[in-house]
Chain A
Amino acid sequence: MKLQVADLNSFYGPAHILFDIALEVGEGEVVALLGRNGAGKSTTFRSIVGLVENRSGRIMFEGKDVSREPTHAIVRGGLGYVPEERRIFTELTVDENLEVGRQPKRPNAPYWTREKLFTLFPNLGEMRNRPGGRMSGGEQQMLTIARTLMGNPSLVLLDEPSEGLSPKIVEQMVDAILAMKKEGVSIVVSEQNLHFARLISDRAYIIERGKICFGGTMAELDARPDIRDAHLSL
């Protein structure tokens, strides 16, 4: 098991956000975390990488409990995180953005060089010296993913990669995610868009009001239209 989360509870101040979240990701698997706006998808990811400080539970990554480690140590261990708001360094060029993400080669994870990433995201290769602030939304989304891949993660948490992108860019995104999977990166992708999730995922969880209310393969999800309609807005 690549990643195993159990009994995860998170708080923002006095507000209880996540309730006993449990999810699992296998080696090389792509798992979708589906849910409406505000259901707790981003908080789940932020809790896993330690950006939400007030949390409890077990987060086993590659057999090791990382729930007590600081964010940078978790990420260095090979757990990459691509935030929802992209959070490109707007003052830095594409090359410099990638440099921030660069980490040493890891034995059990695919190794990414700039050149390899530029074949995955050809647009980026053409604007290596452009400041992040002067890129389109789609280009920025690609840059955040590339930046995280520079850390050679064995698992990536992708927070709503299709959000706000044009259909054409979404297609490119699907290709990129499938290419990552082919390289051997395990992926958890949070989505509101079931159609997009279906194109890339092996399995899915549905989260609603901070609780996991479904977990299973995409086929199992399709077999339960009641659940789908109750928890996802299509």
Chain B
Amino acid sequence: MRGYLRGSNSQRQPRTAIQVSWFETRGVAALLTMRDYPTLILRRREAPSRRMKARYFTNAGPPMAFYFVQFLTGLASAASLFLVASGLSIIFGVTRIVNFAHGAFYMLGAYVAFTLTERFAGALGFWGGIVAAALVVAVVGVLVEMVLLRRIYHAPELFQLLATFGLTLMVQDIVVMIWGPDDLLGRRAPGFKGAVDFFGQNIPSYDLFLIGLSPVVLGILWLLFQRTRWGVLVRAATQDRDMVAALGVNQKWLFTSVFALGVFLAALGGALQIPRDAVHHALDLRIIVEVFVVVVIGGLGSIIGAFVAAVLVSELNAFGILIFPKISIILVFLVMAVVLIVRPWGLFGKPEAAARRTPGLTVNPWRPLTSAERLMSVGALALAAMLPLFAGNYALTVGSEIAIFVIFAASLHFLMSVGGLASFGHAAYFGLGAYGVAFLAKAAGLPMIVSLLLGPVLGLLGAAVFGFFAVQLSGVYFAMLTLAFAQIVWSIAFQWVSVTGGDNGILGVWPDKWAAGPAAFYWLSLAIAAFAVVVLRVIVFSPFGFALRATRDSPLRSEAIGINGKRVQWTAFVIAGTVAGIGGALFAYLKGSVFPDSLGISLSVDALVMVLLGGVETVSGAVIGAIVFKAANIWLVSQTDLSKLVLGGFIVLMVVAFPKGIVGTLETIWNRRRSTEDKKSALATSRVEVAE
């Protein structure tokens, strides 16, 4: 597609990427950067330009040739996607880690290749630079594996996803520090600079090279896994890591070498893109979402699956743009949803054995608050309610925002800690609530009370539809599917400009007079937050809550005592989505506007971090987590330009050092102290290990 874009339009295309700017959700810098990061979709998914259409409809080659070229373009795009996806699959197969940082390694590969190919001249310089770049990044990957991943191989999936996401954030800032924020245009490949004419349609010869490359890589990988001792060991470890160790194989080095290979493939995929595409610092998330889609369709752990799915996804993109120019991305996600429902483990994957439990390593027994603790909570709430007596307007706005995020975090906490379903796309329902309010207030002109009550219904509906599909899965697949659904909603909000205003959002959603003052709005937010948290707590200790927790802890046993697990989880999903929608509804009024960012990945991950920070295994840790995270975050953004580096580092540190979060750690200390004081009570409160 780059080929025809070059031919038809010599101007640089605007920056396009699946866009997640951390600053944008952070208020201040939002409006500044909003313009620079427009669209969701890849360059190649843009609608064919007018000139190109003209050429096609008037005198250019036959339609068949056009479709054929479009097909080849899709195949060429599949090459990099396949390289990255196969790397992710290989790593997952053995280590069981879904490496979110895979996109970051892809991006690093592109940047390093850019530098190396600029420095060394000639064909040898170029091709040598590409391979050397992949090797350099593979070495970086080995360091990451040895320093970070080795510590979290036995942690729950959620922690691994979050740690590697934290890594991704850090790399984004590091890349900008080294290479600057601007797009970099790399060299064209020596020997593949021209284009091949095909009945009047141009195909870049480099695209043909890529088309030829991926089957070669597939073949090499096949030989590596089928015909070498290393490959046999890797396949054995994919099935049973402990048994491989019990036969005298050092898993550590096996894992490290597998990770190195996976990262090498990702970096190679990135490096090979430089003659086709500009290098920029949003490449990572753009590729990772596509790669998630590919491995979910193809089946995690299957290389053939990665190959077939990469071709499928690329072709869907290439032709989707012709059929649905505005919503081409939806086509891919729809296919993914269908595949997951029909074959939850992907086209070429294998059904997983019982998934590992999502919540943490140990569980402190849950209990309702004692009356003293209730009194303390009420006291804390009363204290918070006195804030307007001494704080200024800015502090109150921050306070309202914190209260809103308490609602949001509590809703996710309900889903992932109580329900055992770690969603990576919870912001979708938050954002739907916000858009719901914006539609009602702006389009229908309803008063605030009515909008606030009805807005979250949009979140409820979204959660009901997506939740139905999502709860069919568990573990990483659940996380990936929720992420994908959130991206669908995001892309609709982004692309359906006539209704949602696209990335200009919907402006002028102001509260009614009675709630317009900062103090009044703060009290409103605080009251709703307190209400939401109390209601969620009541549900946790209700019969429904027990059924939900039973389903989380042992799906089979709860099924055997007559609990309809899927229905219970679906209900929990809807409850969580609705509560998140309430948060979003308030958020729309707080900001006076709604942007697609309210649905974005970054917001979903913020919520995950809040829950994790508070403590996944606690009943209401999310409240503390949200307050601490949001306050620290607002402060951090005002203090440093490297907030992603700091935040990413913080996430990694937290996962490795404090997997129990603030409240969880405090509870453990509290329990330990009590157990030394009184041996008898120690028995009652002793930690119940969740055996892995």
The answer to whether B249 touches A72 (Cβ under 8 A) is yes
The answer to whether B248 touches A76 (Cβ under 8 A) is yes
Interface centre among B229, B246, B687 (most CB of A within 10 A): B246
A90 within 8 A of B: yes
Interface centre among A75, A87, A89, A92 (most CB of B within 10 A): A89
Query: With the chains together, A103 CA to B250 CA distance in Å?
Result: 12
A151 within 8 A of B: yes
Q: Which of A14, A83, A92, A103 contacts B248 (CB 8 A)?
A: A103
Query: With the chains together, A89 CA to B242 CA distance in Å?
Result: 12
Q: Which of B244, B687, B691 contacts A100 (CB 8 A)?
A: B244
Q: Which residues of B contact A87 (CB under 8 A)?
A: 240, 243
Map CB proximity to A onto B365-409 as digits: 1 under 8 Å, 0 otherwise: 000000000000000000000000000000000000000000000
The answer to whether B248 touches A75 (Cβ under 8 A) is yes
Q: Which of B239, B686, B688 contacts A90 (CB 8 A)?
A: B239
Q: Can you name 17 A-B pairs with beta carbons within 8 Å?
A: A13-B689, A14-B687, A14-B689, A71-B242, A71-B245, A72-B249, A75-B247, A83-B246, A87-B243, A89-B243, A90-B239, A91-B235, A92-B239, A96-B232, A99-B229, A101-B247, A147-B247
Query: With the chains together, A103 CA to B240 CA distance in Å?
Result: 18
Nearest CB of A to B253, in Å: 10
Q: Which residues of A contact B248 (CB under 8 A)?
A: 72, 75-76, 101, 103, 151
Query: With the chains together, A108 CA to B242 CA distance in Å?
Result: 26
Nearest CB of B to A59, in Å: 15
The answer to whether A100 touches B249 (Cβ under 8 A) is yes
Chain A residue, CB-CB nearest to B228: A99
* CB interface residues, A 1-55, toward B, < 8 Å: 12-14, 49, 51
The answer to whether B686 touches A92 (Cβ under 8 A) is no
B251 within 8 A of A: yes
Interface of B is mostly: helix
Q: Which of B229, B233, B239, B242 contacts A91 (CB 8 A)?
A: B239
Q: Which residues of B contact A99 (CB under 8 A)?
A: 229, 232
Q: Which residues of A contact B244 (CB under 8 A)?
A: 100
Query: With the chains together, A83 CA to B242 CA distance in Å?
Result: 11
* CB interface residues, A 80-107, toward B, < 8 Å: 81, 83, 87, 89-92, 96-97, 99-103
* CB interface residues, B 239-283, toward A, < 8 Å: 239-240, 242-251
A216 within 8 A of B: no
Q: Which residues of B contact A70 (CB under 8 A)?
A: 245, 250
Q: Which residues of B contact A75 (CB under 8 A)?
A: 245-248
Q: A89-B235, A103-B248, A147-B247 are in contact. List 10 more A-B contacts (CB 8 A).
A: A13-B691, A14-B689, A71-B245, A71-B246, A72-B245, A89-B236, A91-B238, A91-B239, A92-B232, A92-B235
Give 9 closest A-B pairs by Cβ, nearest first: A13-B689, A75-B248, A76-B248, A71-B245, A87-B243, A100-B236, A89-B236, A101-B247, A72-B245
The answer to whether A72 touches B239 (Cβ under 8 A) is no
Nearest CB of B to A132, in Å: 9
The answer to whether residues A14 and B686 also contact, given A49-B246, A70-B245, A147-B247 and a CB cut-off of 8 A, is yes
Query: With the chains together, A169 CA to B246 CA distance in Å?
Result: 25
A148 within 8 A of B: yes
The answer to whether residues A12 and B240 also contact, given A72-B251, A75-B247 and a CB cut-off of 8 A, is no
Query: With the chains together, A15 CA to B184 CA distance in Å?
Result: 59
* CB interface residues, B 164-182, toward A, < 8 Å: none
Nearest CB of B to A96, in Å: 5
Number of interface residues of A (CB under 8 A): 28
Nearest CB of A to B284, in Å: 32
Nearest CB of A to B432, in Å: 42
Q: Which residues of A contact B247 (CB under 8 A)?
A: 75, 100-101, 147-148, 151
* CB interface residues, B 209-246, toward A, < 8 Å: 229, 232-233, 235-236, 238-240, 242-246
Q: Which residues of A contact B245 (CB under 8 A)?
A: 51, 70-72, 75
Q: Which residues of B contact A81 (CB under 8 A)?
A: 246
Q: Which residues of B contact A76 (CB under 8 A)?
A: 248
Query: With the chains together, A75 CA to B691 CA distance in Å?
Result: 25
Q: Which of A14, A96, A147, A151 contacts B235 (CB 8 A)?
A: A96
Query: With the chains together, A70 CA to B233 CA distance in Å?
Result: 18
Nearest CB of A to B283, in Å: 35
* CB interface residues, A 114-171, toward B, < 8 Å: 147-148, 151
Q: Which of A13, A83, A91 contacts B243 (CB 8 A)?
A: A83
Nearest CB of B to A4, in Å: 21
Q: Which residues of A contact B239 (CB under 8 A)?
A: 89-92
Q: Which of A12, A89, A91 contacts B691 (CB 8 A)?
A: A12
Chain A residue, CB-CB nearest to B686: A14
Query: With the chains together, A73 CA to B233 CA distance in Å?
Result: 16
Map CB proximity to A onto B189-225 as digits: 1 under 8 Å, 0 otherwise: 0000000000000000000000000000000000000
Query: With the chains together, A174 CA to B247 CA distance in Å?
Result: 23
Query: With the chains together, A82 CA to B247 CA distance in Å?
Result: 9
Query: With the chains together, A48 CA to B689 CA distance in Å?
Result: 23
Nearest CB of B to A66, in Å: 13
The answer to whether residues A100 and B233 also contact, given A14-B687, A14-B689, A72-B251 and a CB cut-off of 8 A, is yes
Q: Which residues of A contact B240 (CB under 8 A)?
A: 87, 89
Chain A residue, CB-CB nearest to B247: A101
Nearest CB of B to A70, in Å: 7
Chain A residue, CB-CB nearest to B690: A13
Query: With the chains together, A90 CA to B250 CA distance in Å?
Result: 21
Query: With the chains together, A205 CA to B109 CA distance in Å?
Result: 60
Query: With the chains together, A87 CA to B245 CA distance in Å?
Result: 12
Q: Which residues of A contact B232 (CB under 8 A)?
A: 92, 96, 99-100
Chain A residue, CB-CB nearest to B244: A100
Q: Which residues of A contact B250 (CB under 8 A)?
A: 70, 72-73
Nearest CB of B to A149, in Å: 11
Nearest CB of A to B252, in Å: 8
Q: Which residues of B contact A90 (CB under 8 A)?
A: 239
Q: Which of B229, B233, B238, B246 contacts A51 (CB 8 A)?
A: B246
Query: With the chains together, A144 CA to B582 CA distance in Å?
Result: 57
Query: With the chains together, A143 CA to B691 CA distance in Å?
Result: 29
Chain A residue, CB-CB nearest to B243: A87
Query: With the chains together, A8 CA to B280 CA distance in Å?
Result: 58
Q: Which residues of A contact B688 (CB under 8 A)?
A: 13
Interface centre among A73, A87, A100, A103 (most CB of B within 10 A): A100
Chain A residue, CB-CB nearest to B687: A14
Chain B residue, CB-CB nearest to A75: B248
Q: Which residues of B contact A49 (CB under 8 A)?
A: 246
Chain B residue, CB-CB nearest to A12: B691
Nearest CB of A to B338, in Å: 27
Chain A residue, CB-CB nearest to B239: A89
The answer to whether residues A92 and B236 also contact, given A13-B689, A14-B689 and a CB cut-off of 8 A, is yes
Nearest CB of A to B222, in Å: 14
Query: With the chains together, A51 CA to B242 CA distance in Å?
Result: 8
Query: With the chains together, A72 CA to B244 CA distance in Å?
Result: 8
Nearest CB of B to A40, in Å: 17
Q: Which residues of B contact A151 (CB under 8 A)?
A: 247-248
* CB interface residues, B 507-561, toward A, < 8 Å: none
Interface centre among B229, B233, B240 (most CB of A within 10 A): B240
Q: Which residues of B contact A148 (CB under 8 A)?
A: 247
Q: Which residues of B contact A97 (CB under 8 A)?
A: 236
Query: With the chains together, A87 CA to B229 CA distance in Å?
Result: 19
